[in-house]
Structure 1
């Protein structure tokens, strides 16, 4: 094992981050983790916010740092945390996104057949645990919520977890959307443990309101920005077309790892049946898709070349977002215009338009709750603990319908 020698990473959000020990340093150095340098945190969002070029690597390191600060804070409040638990929790958050593929969430269910990135993260975790001779056992239990002390898993994944504390602050910083700023340090210092659950001390309630408000605003302004939704829909259609052509005998150039996923409809069971598939998936990142697009823009297939050219040149489909689905008559008329202008068959036309719905909910009151501990020791769901109307409103799910299409005028 390479000696750590207190390696330091200079992070633009938090400053200098020290990698705490040799094991974590070796995990970060592993090719599985280094691959995250080539996967953008926000997928296609850099087409809208040019600064949004940060990666899953940035986010994972930042999350590890915040977890470190959280565990130090809990220890200062006499929460018993062993050195093994401390290390396990850091590794769990460090690897929480290791299963992401190219463009993060955008292609999650398109390159693979209904395989969630969390399931792939477990596969990567298990492989790394084998390579590191079982030293990731405790971290894996925390990650999969199998560890008896449940609050550790809550810090990794819940409605107020370290993952969200980092990505909100980081995404706000790199997009320049100031509405997403949160007081992560303040929130961390207000966390405590009660009956093996993470709670927020009552004096931190306004920081939580700001956290939920920032999350809701970031969804509308960044994560669900209509132009980003349109660009992602184009990318999804592009990959679907590449898979369709490949599986119907048409030659489609692609990098070796991407080619495998175009040729086969890989499900979770295939990863268990053939461990080499995980190694191939581990070679995939955003650059595979961008590089392949440069071949596809010259392809004889109108859809493949057309979508590739538009994405490479940032000619994003127009899009409407509305509370109701667009009228069928309006959609049919528009589709006819598109079909004529681009000389598309009825089958090809479906790749040149996109539709669906998006939802925004800052706080799901029916899920794992954010709990407030009052000064008298009572523990309440934040919706009941506060008289702030904003939090009650933010527990409502808002759904909008979208339709996107290429220029026709």
Structure 2
């Protein structure tokens, strides 16, 4: 789902995961092994088919399925991270209008949601791309450690400075952080110590979705999340990336208790935002020829950014799904939705008026229930400043 991506930086991994390819074709095997070793040194691999990648964030020109056997998963610091399905997120402890309860001395803050809405409205009016960034920020927060605002931290309880913001999918690409900080500052002035940064991120994504869809999307976003106190860059390998294949995408979402339909639905957020040419230029031959030629003309270099959807690039709508059908999707992770497992959902979203908008509302609500922390949880708090833990 993440728009406006940046190219991952290199990180060092455990090289003891070198792959034995057999004795046949010795020279080709040795060359392939060297490429694999370089891939391991360059970033954590989560493999599918003929792709070696940082869970979908890096593609190398390797065409040998023996390098990535079925069931391969990323190795971080020498340990394998398996993507295991979990129960549906329950959202236990959350509630609509959470800050409007007069009887609660610890959470009553009736202006909270209005302050967030005002901050988002002003930011998106000045720069629509910020809205796409706020939706992406919510996704990247909830997919790692649950919806606990860990994505915002630069200083943690363990004094770790290599936080999620430094992870390959996030570094130099997160947008809307200043909107969250501005809303938090105003809320703290009105109701100190009552409203979590995690809820502000969730409310901001809700409001951005409403504004960018011209009010066609109205998410019933509950409140009551508490903020976490830890954040680690290496845990961002859980985020699906532009080179993720269908199996990896489905596994990623199942590991969060979300369905294949919700994966397809949330991918529709790629109808807004901008993308770097580096993440789709290898796919030109797989796209609609006329569309590919247009993109080639725009892509002066890998760092050039283009609109992720070319018809209504600043409107959160269902045009993305028609692009998937027509061979005009940018990323591998978009194009694979044309597969047998997901094409029925894609077609319905493209053709049935209002279908995708209602699905998106429900999927965002469920996304906001992943791994939430409440007052009773160890390591949970209401931060005074969103980018650092309380003293």
Compare the two structures and name the one with the higher helix fraction: 1
Q: Same fold (TM over 0.5)?
A: no
Q: How does the TM-score come out when normalised to structure 1?
A: 0.26
Q: Which has the higher contact order (CA 8 A, sep 6+)?
A: 2
* Greater strand proportion: 1
Q: Which has the larger radius of gyration?
A: 1
Q: TM-score, normalized by length of structure 2? A: 0.27
